[in-house]
A = this chain, B = another copy of it.
Amino acid sequence: MLIEEMITEMGRAAKDASRILRKTEREIKDSALLAMAERLLSEKEAIKDENKKDLSHAREIGLTSAMIDRLTLDDKTLNSMSDGLKEVAALPDPVGEVAGMWKRPNGLVVGKVRIPLGVIGFIYESRPNVTVDAAALCLKSGNSVILKGGSEAIHSNMILERILKEALIETGLPEKAVQVVPTTDRDAVRALLGLDQYLDIVIPRGGEGLIRYVVENSRIPVLKHYKGVCHVYVDEFADLNMASDVCFNAKVQRPGVCNAMETMLVHKKVAAEFLPAMGKRFLDAGVELRGCPRTLELLPYAKAAVEADWPAEFLDLILAVRVVSDMDEALDHIERYGSNHTEAIITRDYDRSRRFIAEVDSSLVLVNASTRFNDGFQLGLGAEIGINTSKLHAFGPMGLEELTTTKFIAYGEGQLRS
Which residues of chain A have a CB within 8 Å of any CB of chain B?
Answer: 19, 22-23, 102, 104, 108, 110, 113, 115, 117-118, 200-201, 215-216, 219, 221, 239, 242, 245-246, 249, 253-254, 335, 353, 357-359, 361-370, 372-374, 378-380, 390-397, 405-418
Do the beta carbons of A393 and B392 come within 8 Å of each other?
yes
Q: Which residues of B contact A245 (CB under 8 A)?
A: 414, 416
Q: A358-B23, A392-B221 are in contact. Are A373 and B415 (CB under 8 A)?
A: yes
| Complex: A200 Cα to B221 Cα, angstroms | 13
| Complex: A201 Cα to B396 Cα, angstroms | 17
Contacts A19-B335, A200-B390, A368-B412 known; list 11 others, CB within 8 Å. A104-B379, A110-B380, A117-B391, A201-B391, A362-B407, A364-B407, A366-B412, A368-B413, A368-B414, A372-B416, A379-B410
Nearest 6 interchain pairs by C-beta = A369-B412, A372-B417, A249-B416, A242-B414, A369-B415, A393-B393
Do the beta carbons of B405 and A370 come within 8 Å of each other?
no
Do the beta carbons of B405 and A392 come within 8 Å of each other?
yes
Do the beta carbons of A368 and B411 come within 8 Å of each other?
yes
One complex includes copies of this chain to the number of 2
Of the residues B115, B249, B366, B394, contact of A409 by C-beta under 8 Å: B366
| Complex: A105 Cα to B219 Cα, angstroms | 41
Q: Which residues of B contact A372 (CB under 8 A)?
A: 416-417
Q: Which of A23, A245, A369, A390 has the most CB of B within 10 A?
A: A369
Q: Which residues of B contact A370 (CB under 8 A)?
A: 415-417
Q: Nearest residue in B to A418 (C-beta to C-beta)?
A: B253
Tell me the minimal C-beta distance from A361 to chain B in angstroms: 7
Q: A364-B409, A369-B108 are in contact. Are A201 and B392 (CB under 8 A)?
A: yes
Do the beta carbons of B200 and A391 come within 8 Å of each other?
yes
| Complex: A370 Cα to B246 Cα, angstroms | 58
Q: Which residues of B contact A361 (CB under 8 A)?
A: 19, 22, 115, 118, 407
Tell me the minimal C-beta distance from A223 to chain B in angstroms: 8
Q: Which residues of B contact A412 (CB under 8 A)?
A: 366-369
| Complex: A291 Cα to B184 Cα, angstroms | 49
Do the beta carbons of B392 and A392 come within 8 Å of each other?
yes
Q: Which residues of B contact A397 (CB under 8 A)?
A: 408
Do the beta carbons of B216 and A216 come within 8 Å of each other?
no
Q: A23-B358, A390-B221, A417-B249 are in contact. Are A365 and B407 (CB under 8 A)?
A: yes
Do the beta carbons of B365 and A410 come within 8 Å of each other?
yes
Q: Which residues of B contact A219 (CB under 8 A)?
A: 215-216
Q: Which residues of B contact A22 (CB under 8 A)?
A: 359, 361
20 of the cross-chain contacts (CB-CB < 8 Å) are A104-B380, A110-B380, A117-B392, A201-B391, A221-B390, A221-B392, A253-B418, A254-B417, A362-B407, A365-B407, A365-B408, A367-B410, A369-B416, A373-B417, A392-B392, A392-B405, A393-B393, A395-B406, A396-B407, A396-B408
Do the beta carbons of A395 and B416 come within 8 Å of each other?
no
Q: Which residues of B contact A365 (CB under 8 A)?
A: 407-410
Q: Which residues of B contact A108 (CB under 8 A)?
A: 369, 373
Q: Nearest residue in B to A96 (C-beta to C-beta)?
A: B358
Tell me the minimal C-beta distance from A47 to chain B in angstroms: 30
